[in-house]
Structure 1
């Protein structure tokens, strides 16, 4: 999905961890246990340290995407 989005928009897309919800739950639990400092900033820092974002660059021909947008622009309603 991230690569398709980059291709369709012609812009780079940054993607966080695959299991972001599980990571967030683990970080909240770690705070509750006193393993990391309280507050959202500590969770952000721990999340950044745990997984680097992946960068998806536009690749290939964007003409099919432009044609799809043109079809939508012509759609009545």
Structure 2
């Protein structure tokens, strides 16, 4: 009977260790997900801010200061 009790204790200890390892793994994945979510949100905000800056720059820059606009106008006259 003594050996069976020792084996049961080892099995319980092993199961407890696996349970703790599983909980720690889930916690690590959850924390990594939080960091990833925050990073993606920050990148989305930066992308939106950059798009707004580009839109403002295009509004501010007059048509005559855009060299590509002059090139396009010249090409239209030739056609």
| Greater Rg by CA | 2
- Point out which structure has higher relative CO (alpha carbons under 8 A, 6+ apart): 1
Same-fold call, TM > 0.5? no
Could you say which structure has the higher strand fraction? 1
* TM-score normalised by structure 1 residue count: 0.20
